[in-house]
Amino acid sequence: STAATLEQPITPPVQVKHTQLLINGEFVDAVSGRTFPTLDPRTGEVIAHVAEGDAEDINRAVAAARKAFDEGPWPKMTAYERSRIILRAADLIEKHNDEIAALETWDNGKPYEQSVKGEIPMLARFMRYYGGWADKIHGLTVPADGPYHVQTLHEPIGVAGQIIPWNFPLLMYAWKVGPALACGNAVVMKTAEQTPLSALYVSELFHEAGLPPGVLNMVSGFGPTAGAALASHMDVEKIAFTGSTGTGKIISELASKSNLKKVTLELGGKSPFIVCEDADVDQAVEIAHFALFFNQGQCCCAGSRTFVHESIHDEFVEKARARALKRVVGDPFKAGVEQGPQIDQDQFEKILGYIKSGIDSGATLEAGGERFGDRGYFIKPTVFSNVQDDMKIAREEIFGPVQTILKFKNLDEVIKRANDSPYGLGAGVFTKNLGTANTLMRALRVGTIWINCYDVFDAAIPFGGYKMSGNGREKGIYSLQNYLQVKAVVSPVENAAW
């Protein structure tokens, strides 16, 4: 019956409205006139042809953003007016929740239930969080030596370039557009070539909410053309990027070679999920399963090294295997489906390559290990046990539904092994012992520790990486710093007694 579903994909409950670039508040074709297809990952068939922006379109978008920033009205509006526009956009997102969710699932392949109940409501929530910040950003009065009055102004940076990936198109949009607008910047965003559709829809809603033209520009297109043009543009003063560590290095290099624009990066990970000997095994299995398989395993912070204490190891492996075998894979528009297709052919092949490498290097394949069905980019939930630290599947980011289970004996050892990675994005810790939790919490060199939970992404919780997982923090109060600069203002006081 699942195979039948794949042969006849469920018709998504939405039409594609916008396929052009959004520049200066208007939908326009690319200068070149070119388009590229965006594909349905359930089938590999074309959903729509989308305008393909490149360097010239980036130039146009940056010029529009520059004008909107330099001449206003955006940075000259009161903070309250900016706040209200962002809050109105959040209301419109909520109003169109189901359509946006359908578009997101169609283009990305994630379960519709996840889009409609999770991600799109979160998009509205994030925008309300940032709308709330817009009129609460201000500087300090500073006590200086000498007869001076000193204050700081927290000002927007100017034109912010933003490049996002395809795994959470609209959450990545929210984490970047939200703080940039709240702080009064103008934005040029390049979406991922696999998932251009939903951001166009949502950006149009911002304009409906009263956002002035030029403040939020969307350029669909490819990385080495449109993306690189944005990262190297001399009139872009900040670049925020989420994606692979390799591309993050390129972005950083382009930024420094051009105008030293400020850079924040949110990159890859190989996050440990540590299950201690006192853990409730059933709970730990369920959360470790979620930590890895959520979003088809396409999460930068996926709990992708499952370390299990030797005393509960065999029971854990057996239960993790059973859970993976039970995972419901199928058409993401079908109710009850937990796992849809991977994003595209490249990722699909890359993941199957890692699975082969796991088998070849001697890890034990407990479940899955091959494609699901014969169409689209579905992969069976896969579990490996007997994974050793030096295997490729334990070191490199797989970005797919492949759980790797490693055995450990004691805390000191697992701390060393968990930290032995170029990445430092997230970690999960499963224990009932507060002392153990606190030891691990302090020792692990990562940007987020989830204790007895995983992937909790509240708007107020900062997120970002240690080591080669990036720099800067998104969400929360810390994210505002990415889009502000501080101006110190010093003036003499005539009577020093005051």
Q: Which residues of this chain interact with ligand ADP, rule CB under 6 A?
A: 163-165, 190, 192-193, 222-224, 227-228, 231, 243-244, 247, 250-251
Residue 196 corresponds to which amino acid? P
d(CA 373, CA 379): 8
Smallest distance, ligand ADP to C-beta of residue 319, A: 31
Provide, rounded to whole angstroms, the least separation between the CB of residue 151 and ligand ADP. Answer: 38
Q: Please say if 370 is a catalytic residue.
A: no
Which token pair is 42?
């359930």
Segment 247-254 long-range contacts (CB within 8 Å, at least 24 positions apart): 247/223, 248/470, 251/163, 251/227, 254/228
Closest CB 351 distance from ligand ADP, rounded Å: 12
d(CA 292, CA 329): 15
- Measured distance CA(41)–CA(32) in Å, rounded: 27
Cα separation, 38 vs 173, in Å, equals: 18
CA angle 421, 425, 428 (to 5 degrees): 90
Q: What is the residue type of 487?
A: K
Q: What is the 3-state secondary structure (H, E, C) of 246-271?
A: HHHHHHHHHHHHCCCCEEEEECCCCE
Q: Are 296 and 110 in contact, with CB atoms under 8 Å apart?
A: yes
Our CB check for ligand ADP shows the closer of 243 and 332 to be 243
Find the shortest distance in angstroms from Cβ 299 to ligand ADP: 11
In the complex with ligand ADP, the residue whose CB is nearer, 18 or 128, is 18
Kindly state the tokens that stand for 286.
Answer: 């369920």
In degrees and rounded to multiples of 5, residue 15 shows phi and psi of -105, 150
Q: Which of residues 175 and 408 has its CB atom nearest to ligand ADP in the complex?
A: 175
Two tokens, residue 408: 């450990």
Q: How many helices (H) and strands (E) does the chain have?
A: 16, 22
Least spacing, CB of residue 76 vs ligand ADP, in Å: 31
d(CA 424, CA 271): 7
At closest approach, how far in Å is the CB of 164 from ligand ADP? 6
User: β-pairing, 402-408 with 303-309?
Assistant: parallel
Give every CB contact of residue 85 below 8 A, 6+ residues apart in sequence. Answer: 131, 206, 209, 210, 211
Residues 138-168, buried b or exposed e (16+ Cβ, 10 A)? eeeeeeeeeeeebeeebbbbbbbbbbbbbbb
With respect to ligand ADP, which residue has the nearer C-beta, 85 or 236? Answer: 236
Name which of 52 and 193 has its Cβ closer to ligand ADP. Answer: 193
- Phi/psi of residue 260, nearest 5 degrees: 55, 35
- Residue 350 beta carbon to ligand ADP: minimum distance, rounded to whole angstroms: 9
Pick from 128, 149, 127, 130: which is nearest to 140 by CA? 149
**Whether 390 contacts 373, CB under 8 Å:** no
Catalytic pick among 266, 338, 366, 474: 266
Single-letter code of the amino acid located at 69:
F
Q: Which tokens in the block code for residue 104?
A: 């997101």
The Cα–Cα gap between 265 and 365 comes to 34
- CB count within 10 Å of CB 374 equals 9
Residue 490 near residue 148, CB atoms below 8 Å: yes
Catalytic residue numbers read 266
